[in-house]
Amino acid sequence: METYGPIIRNATEILHGGDYNPDQWLETPEIIDRDFELMEKSGCNTFSVGIFSWTMLEPAPGKYQFDWLDRIMDRMAEHNFHVILATPSGAKPAWLATAYPEVCRVDEHGLRQPYADRHNHCWSSPVYREKVREINSKLAERYAHHPALSAWHISNEYNGKCFCELCQERFRVWLRERYGTLENLNRAWWNTFWSHLHTDWAEITPWGGSEGNSLDWKRFATFQCCDFMKFEADALRVYTPEIPVTTNMMGFFDGLDYWRVAEVCDFISDDVYPGWGIDPDVRRILSECAMRHDMHRAMKNGKPFLIMESAPSATNWQPGHRLKRPNQHKLEELCAVGHGADGTLYFQWRKSRGNLEKFHGAVVDHVGTEETRVFRDVAELGALYRKCNDICGSATPVQAAVVWDWECFWAHQFDQGPGKEDQKKYCETVQTFYRALWTRNFPLDVIESLSDFSKYRLLICPMLIMLKPGVAERLKAFVAAGGTLVMSYLSGYEDENTNCFLGGWPGDGLMELFGIWNEEPGGIPAFDRQWLRYEGREIEVVDYAERIHLRGAEALAEFTSDPLYEGMPAITVNRFGAGKAYYLAGRTGEEFLSEFLGKLALEAGLEPVIPAENPGISASVRRKGEEEFLFLFNYTAEERQVRLPAGNFTVLANGSCCSGTLTLPPFGSEILKK
Ligand code: GAL
């Protein structure tokens, strides 16, 4: 198996630490002294610094003060800590917004926003760009050779849109590049509909009303973001070409296609705030975490990633302020490491004394000591990480992938039908398909439809309504070469512009691959009932059922209840070349899905990390040469016995040997080395 080098410069250990804001404490140097003592005690080694420090670095235009940061960087180096240094563009100084109001965004109603909050600057503004270039260059020049500088954290959680004239003009330029001529654009947006034909580029705005217009405006936000990121990174790379650059993502955030953002990052980092206080289903929470981790690992072809932010206890923005239960902190963080993270950091190291995040969880509370439950949780994890450094750079052996595609997500949002969004549930559905196999402990990648399919044996495409150019061909090649493909209802209806394929669905040649014709998509309202019969059992179908005809495929299940569907195929399989293509024409519950997909996975030759007969336990694996690291997670509130695979293991936490079975406490997790 491939192994990977350090994700940040000179780091050979699991990264542990967090957002550190010493600039809030310059008037109380004893608190900063105490921070460094506590950092050592907590087993932390990596700090992201300067994320919102612009006014502390440049209190007035062109007047810089780096002395406080110099001292922090030096102290970090003395302690052999790594600094992930931020560019401060996530929050702009008030002086900048006052002198140049155009750096503030214009909202969708055309109103220029006042200076307030953060993450609200115009990515097109030449002044904003120039000021960002200046401060980034100053930082990079000053710390280029500083031993503590290990990576760049550009900006913070890029998000949002600006509707100013400049941004709209850039949108039109972007559209010209994409479509070349207005005729092409009109065709792509199907603008003969409702008299939407454009005769001049200048007519085009974000509000045109066509589905294609809305979708492209959403795509444009990703372009703008990536363009701005490159701009930020270029300023740094002049001085620090060797220092890796990242920006913190937000899981399945709707506003950006993170596959494109990933292309601009040297390594992936993510901010993870599981809904411990929102969702009582720990299994669902953990599987959602695992799914985003499996995507972030896949985004760089298996390369380890970093959790840039997580909460050491409760956040201040989730309702309820429920505290993490014993063992849940370790469970959350080891889930990330088990799925390919080489480090987990926190927001935040120390609680601020005032302002909006003073009640947000932190490693160090206002009391300022190590005598807190949260500090002990963190220090315990830090001590464990110190015994796990061999894990760094290890890889995850994966043979199956689930496709999660941002543009497909957006297509489902903009398509008027079939059904409404609360019926479509794209996110939830892909998560359910993922969880169906995660429950059975099959290692998975989460990929986009443009990813390389050839390295997998099993490929799952839930609700892939949009087929971008070339995707259908690659799906065919995947199956022809022996792959097992599973596609669900609401797939293969439309092209990358959301225009429907003519001549039958699934389109773009997929009727041939699946050996079916999907005549008509149908919804199942809550007052209706629909069932399918599979191996003599009746399985409930909800939300969607399609009227499918066989065109060479074999039916594995049929709809049974509604006269309109009765006897029509509900699940089909078609042999194509050396592989098989399965189509699911109705939405079933997770239990059936898990049974069905689990069977296909075994038939495709996939091996689970541990057998599925370990209820309440999830497992993942990482490998490096001959070494194997087995991660076990108990997502129940009860003690559980885990039946281990054959062989002798070492429990990394305490060095003890084990084989046969292992007991995990409620929400317990453990790393075993083989
Ligand atoms: C993140 C953000 C941090 C902090 C955190 C609180 O979205 O990047 O700066 O605000 O949320 O949970």
Mean pLDDT, residues 508-524:
97
pLDDT band at 529 (very low <50, low <70, confident <90, very high): confident
Output the pTM of the full model.
0.98
Query: Would you state the pLDDT for residue 623?
Result: 97
CA distance 255 to 250: 10
Task: Tell me whether residue 191 is in a domain.
Answer: no
For residue 273, which atom of ligand 1 is closest to its CA? 12
| High-pLDDT (> 70) share of the chain, % | 100
The per-residue DSSP string of 296-339 comes to HHHHTTT--EEEEEE-SS--SSSTT-PPPPTTHHHHHHHHHHHT
Rounded Cα distance between 659 and 674, Å, is 10
Mean pLDDT confidence for 305-314: 96
61 C-alpha to center of ligand 1: Å?
Answer: 27
pLDDT at 613 > cutoff 90: no
Q: Give the chain's mean pLDDT.
A: 97
Pocket test for ligand 1, best of 157, 332, 358 (most atoms within 8 A of CB): 157
Atom number in ligand 1 closest to CA 316: 12
Question: What separation in Å is there between the alpha carbon of 599 and the centre of ligand 1?
Answer: 41
| Residue 40's pLDDT band (cuts 50, 70, 90) | very high
Rounded-to-integer distance, Cα 139 and Cα 452, Å = 38
**Same domain flag for 502 and 414:** yes
Q: What contacts 296, CB < 8 A, 6 or more positions away?
A: 249, 268, 270, 305, 340, 341
Q: Are residues 597 and 635 in the same domain?
A: no
Task: Answer yes or no: is 9 within a domain.
Answer: no
2 pLDDT above the threshold of 90:
no
How many angstroms separate the alpha carbon of residue 553 from the centre of ligand 1? 50
545 and 497 within one domain: yes
Looking from the CA of residue 315, the nearest atom of ligand 1 is 12
> pLDDT at position 612, please?
80
Give the percent of the chain with pLDDT over 90. Answer: 98
pLDDT band at residue 553, thresholds of 50, 70 and 90? very high
Question: Looking at residue 485, which CATH number applies to its domain?
Answer: 3.40.50.880
- Best residue among 321, 346, 357, 363 to mutate for probing ligand 1, ranked by most atoms within 8 Å of CB: 357
- Do both 489 and 625 map to the same domain? no
With CA atoms as reference, report the closest residue to 592 among 665, 523, 539.
Answer: 539
For ligand 1, atom 4, name the residue with the nearest CA.
Answer: 347
User: Are both 440 and 492 inside the same structural domain?
Assistant: yes
Can you give the pLDDT at residue 363?
Answer: 98
Reported confidence tier of residue 453, pLDDT bands at 50, 70, 90: very high
184 CA to middle of ligand 1, Å?
Answer: 42
Active-site residues: which are they?
Answer: 157, 309
CATH of the domain at 663: 2.60.40.1180
Say if residue 590 is in the same domain as residue 656.
no
Strand arrangement, sheet containing 617-624:
617-624, 627-634, 669-673, 649-651, 657-658
Q: What gap in Å lies between CA 650 and CA 635, rounded to an integer? A: 22
In angstroms, the CA 456 to CA 463 distance is: 19
Question: What is the gyration radius of the CA atoms in the chain, in angstroms?
Answer: 26
Overall number of domains in the chain? 2
Residue 30: both structure tokens together: 């004893």
Distance 245 CA to ligand 1 centre (A): 19
Pick the atom of ligand 1 nearest to 157's CA.
Answer: 8
- What confidence score (pLDDT) does residue 375 get? 98
- Residue 193's contacts (CB-CB under 8 Å, 6 or more residues apart) are 210
Residues 426 and 463 in one domain: yes
Mean pLDDT of 156-160: 97
Same domain, 513 and 573: yes
β partners of residue 208: none
Kindly tell me if the per-residue pLDDT of 480 is higher than 90: yes
Query: Average pLDDT of 95-116?
Result: 96
User: Which residue's CA is minimally distant from atom 11 of ligand 1?
Assistant: 347
By residue count, the chain amounts to 674
Task: List, in sequence order, every beta strand (DSSP E) within 189-323.
Answer: 245-246, 248-249, 269-272, 305-310
| Predicted local distance difference test score (pLDDT) of residue 219 | 98
User: What confidence score (pLDDT) does residue 105 get?
Assistant: 98
Q: How far does residue 350's CA lie from ligand 1's centre (Å)? A: 13
Of 603, 631, 647, the one marking the end of a domain is: 603
Q: Is the pLDDT of residue 130 over 90?
A: yes
Domain C-terminal end among 603, 626, 643: 603
Question: Which atom of ligand 1 is nearest to 250's Cα?
Answer: 7
My answer on whether 447 and 571 are in the same domain is yes
pLDDT score, position 209 = 87
Question: Residue 419 is part of which domain span?
Answer: 400-603
Q: What are phi and psi of 224, to 5 degrees?
A: -60, -45
Q: How far is the CA of 360 from the centre of ligand 1 (A)?
A: 9
Q: Tell me how far the alpha carbon of residue 309 lies from the centroid of ligand 1, in angstroms.
A: 8
Residue 5 has pLDDT above 80, yes or no: yes
**pLDDT of 642 strictly over 90:** yes
Predicted pLDDT at 561:
86
Last residue of a domain, one of 579, 603, 627: 603
Is 238 among the domain residues? Answer: no
* Residue 468 and residue 562 in one domain: yes
Taking alpha carbons only, the member of 92, 172, 105, 190 closest to residue 135 is 92
Same domain, 592 and 649: no
Backbone angles phi, psi at 490, to 5 degrees: 60, 40
Report the alpha-carbon distance of residue 265 to residue 197 in Å, rounded: 38
Residue 611's pLDDT is 86
In a domain, 629, yes or no: yes
Span 410-436, mean pLDDT? 97
Q: Which backbone phi and psi does 334 adopt, to 5 degrees?
A: -70, -25
**Cα separation, 292 vs 339, whole angstroms:** 9
Residues 195-216 have pLDDT tens digits of 999 999 999 999 998 999 999 9
Mutate to test the pocket of ligand 1, among 270, 309, 317 (most ligand atoms within 8 A of CB): 309
Q: Do 409 and 553 belong to one domain?
A: yes
Pocket test residue of 308, 347, 348, 355 for ligand 1, highest count of atoms within 8 A of CB: 347
Ligand 1 atom nearest the C-alpha of 248 is 8
23 pLDDT more than 90: yes
Cβ < 6 Å from ligand 1: which residues?
156-157, 271, 273, 309, 315, 347, 357, 360
